[in-house]
């Protein structure tokens, strides 16, 4: 009987350790996504580009924006032109920094699955997609170009 109890408690100890260790898998992936985002954000910030033209394509649910052209001055949106014309409320991002913020908001969110990729050279987001449960509209963004106003481009 003592051997049986010892084995039983050993089994519970091992099983509990496995379950406890398994709980970290989600946090590990979350931490990895957060680290990847922060490295890309730091890489972008090191460029110190405050004046740029940002062109992207977006789909939010059924609303498709073939082209969103954003002019940024001093890190703030100066003007936006979309094709077809949509209200600014329908746009998911305005600046590169707001694009990072959008991606960051998805990390650890229970009711979404998302993916994001970043430019290898300058760090800005080049594509993002998020699928949601319930009534929220799915989101997709593809960066077409980012051009510094001093003549540099990506």
Q: What CATH number has the domain bearing residue 62?
A: 2.50.20
The answer to the question of residue 130 being in a domain is: yes
Q: What is the pTM of this model?
A: 0.79
- The pLDDT, as a whole number, for residue 11 is 41
The answer to the question of residue 116 being in a domain is: yes
Q: How far apart are CA 34 and CA 140, in angstroms?
A: 19
- The pLDDT, as a whole number, for residue 154 is 54
The answer to the question of residue 107 being in a domain is: yes
Given a cut of 70, the residues of the chain with pLDDT beneath it are: 1-26, 151-154
Q: How far apart are CA 41 and CA 58, in angstroms?
A: 21
- The pLDDT, as a whole number, for residue 31 is 92
The answer to the question of residue 153 being in a domain is: no
The answer to the question of residue 154 being in a domain is: no
| Domain count of the fold of the chain | 1
Q: Are 111 and 132 in contact (CB under 8 A)?
A: yes
pLDDT tens per residue across span 44-67: 999 999 999 999 999 999 999 999
Instruction: Give me the domain span that covers residue 15.
Output: 2-148
The answer to the question of residue 15 being in a domain is: yes
- The pLDDT, as a whole number, for residue 26 is 58
């Amino acid at each position: 009987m003592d051997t049986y109890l010892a084995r039983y408690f050993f089994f519970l100890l091992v099983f509990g350790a496995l379950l406890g260790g398994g709980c970290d898998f989600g946090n590990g992936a979350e931490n990895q996504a957060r680290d990847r985002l922060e490295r890309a954000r730091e890489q972008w910030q090191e460029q110190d580009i405050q004046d740029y033209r940002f062109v992207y394509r977006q789909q939010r649910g059924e609303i498709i924006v073939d082209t969103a052209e954003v002019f940024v001055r001093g890190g703030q949106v100066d003007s936006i032109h979309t094709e077809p014309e949509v209200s600014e409320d329908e746009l998911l991002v305005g600046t590169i920094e707001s694009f990072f913020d959008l991606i960051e908001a998805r990390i650890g969110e229970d009711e979404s699955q998302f993916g994001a990729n970043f430019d290898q050279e300058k760090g800005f987001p080049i594509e993002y997609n998020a699928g949601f449960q319930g009534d929220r509209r799915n989101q997709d963004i593809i960066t077409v170009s980012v051009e510094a106003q001093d003549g540099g481009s990506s």
